[in-house]
Amino acid sequence: MSDSVILAVNVRKKYGETTALDGLDLVVDRGEIFGIVGPNGAGKTTAMDCMAGMRRPDSGEIRTLGLDPTVDSQLLRRKVGLQQQESELPERIRVGEVFKLFRSLFGIDEPGMDLLEKVGLAEKTDAFFSELSGGQKRRLFVALAMVHDPELIMLDELTSGLDPKGRRDLWSLVKNSKGNGRTVVLSTHYMDEAQKLCDRVAIMDRGKVVALGTPDALVRKYCPGLRLRLGCGDDFRPEHAADLEGVLGVRVRDGTCVMDLEDAGAVVPVIRALSEKGTDLGDLHTEVPTLEDVFMAVTGKDYGESDG
């Protein structure tokens, strides 16, 4: 059996004049937590929907668990658990009722309420769907995506709108879901989430994968070294900082100077040199680059800039 759970080759999808996927190429391996990350409008949700058989691409090839999602969508739904970004249920259905209903649709008789406990909804089994908060509704849909113990779990914007505790609870659930050949694919615009959870990530922009690899490998490849961030006044001269030994790059925005340094050994000499030039160093601290910095290095845009 192939270790590739998802294979996408040159996949394209347009909505009118808007290009959502522009030659998407992607391979997801069995047993990994794979992240599709990028800002809003990058094409993440369309990619997930096409892989799960919810949308038909205009061209290209997709194989999910060895099946063509556009032809074998019914068979695929028994093997895939999908939590979509936007979902709804009847307002007057109770949490316990909908959970049992979904399990019965897959021929599962056991109540399996422990899954509701894992997503923090054990005390809401008698509550109507309309009584749930936005975060609770999202957690319910995550549980419903997992009721049939699917081979592939696909989670679109897993923790959008959740409070910090809700995010941590679902992170724990995702980590515990990995294993026994099970694969998790999640899309998120939270780069910190992808960095904590994912074995590998595909960074998307304008419908394409612009970087692919483990979070640590991507940071090492595109953003080596260390970052020095300091407050600076209007009279700060970026060219003076850029000429210092060990400085790879300098950016000034909204009264903050960000310098990319070769390594930690450059921090003290750079600070000393700036002080000798009379620079007011302001709020100074060092940072390790993140996936957001990788996005900026690859695309030339600040993370969060969207094309629509």
pLDDT 10s digits, 222-238:
988 888 888 877 777 78
What's the average model confidence in pLDDT over 181-202?
Answer: 92
Q: The dihedral of CA 64, 156, 169, 193: what is its sign?
A: positive
Q: How far apart are alpha carbons 224 and 229 in whole angstroms? A: 16
Residue 5's pLDDT is: 96
pLDDT, tens only, 85-132: 778 899 999 999 998 899 888 888 776 678 888 888 989 999 999 999
Query: What is the pTM (predicted TM-score) of this model?
Result: 0.85
Q: How many CB atoms lie within 10 A of CB 246?
A: 20
How many CB atoms are closer than 10 A to CB 7? 16
How many Å apart are CA 274 and CA 184, to the nearest integer?
A: 47
Q: Assess if CATH 3.30.830.10 describes domain 224-288.
A: no
CATH 3.40.50.300 for domain 4-218: yes
Q: Which of 49-53, 147-151, 181-185, 251-255 has the lowest mean pLDDT?
A: 251-255
Domain boundaries, the chain: 4-218, 224-288
* pLDDT single digits (tens) 69-93: 999 988 998 999 999 877 889 999 9
